[in-house]
Amino acid sequence: MNHSPSCHYKETLRLAGCFDIETLNEEFKNILAKIFPQHVIEIELRKDSFYLKNTKKLEIIEQEDIGEGRFRIICQGTPIGFITAERPLEEQDECALLEMLNVYFNLVNHIALSRVDPLTGVRNRQAFTQDLQKLSKSSSVFGRRKFDYPQFLALLDIDNFKLINDQFGHLIGDEVLVIFGQKLQTVFRDQDSCYRYGGEEFAVILNHSEAFSIRSILERFRASIESSRFPRVNKVTVSIGYSIIPPGFIPSDLMDRADRALYYSKKNGRNQVNDFVELMTQGKIKEVKSSGIEFL
């Protein structure tokens, strides 16, 4: 089969037409099967490889320590994935695969960076909306199996942030946001997803967590912010509200639940964590009937 660069022009266009990583991965898998019909090639990528900024120096290296027919994908000296081939890769095959990998990684980076808030480094509102909608659809189709751990949505709001901007200026306010974003990525786990969806408003989707541990996780973050020293401002606090994510949820209803718990935190002294279900059980807030409208 002809593996010259020009012969893969159509495949490159197909990849360029993908606007989310899931679709891109599936299309790339299909293209590999077409280009290499005599091979069984599987590419396994680490999570952080999606956020590489430079993919111009890709290499494919066969290494015996990971098994026969297993190849490492190396980017600037760092292993970022593996290839499993049914038989040895010929030079022509390797060149064609490197060509497609370069295209693929550049597109992955482009998609990933379009979902990141440039100031804080966490995911942006667009990513938050997309991820909630995908989570809603998948839970509607598959439901939650009885042995799965539940998921939770937490909304976080930096207390008195407008006052910080008014007293110290927007540059100091931005520095507070940067440090806050760094804390989010440090305190929360790899399987959790952190977002900035407004000025001083953040969200976290906590995955595979047991209900009794959620409050302690969020309290740990709240205490971490309270004990940190922010330049010029010195002390900053955060209010948090959260809700369990039920199967088949409507994103706007879920947001409303977590937001009402957040509102309670802010109106009752700030610098605290509150659970929507717990507040409702205690009669401190009342549940609003579902709107049935899917929007954020």
Rg from Cα positions in the chain: 23
Q: Is residue 180 within 8 Å of 227, Cβ to Cβ?
A: no
For residue 275 the two structure tokens come to: 């659970």
- How many Cβ atoms are within 10 Å of 182's Cβ, its own excluded? 14
With residue 24 as reference, give the H or E element that holds it: helix 21-35
Examine the residue annotation and report whether 200 is marked as an active-site residue of this protein: yes
| DSSP 8-state class, residue 293 | -
Alpha-carbon distance of 153 to 139, in angstroms, equals 14
Q: Which two tokens stand for residue 278?
A: 């717990």
In DSSP terms, 155 is beta-bridged to: 203, 241
**Which residue in 99, 200, 210, 294 is the catalytic one?**
200
Q: Among 139, 112, 106, 151, which residue's Cα sits nearest to residue 245?
A: 151
Q: Are residues 74 and 66 in contact, defined by beta-carbon separation less than 8 angstroms?
A: no
Please identify every residue annotated as catalytic: 200
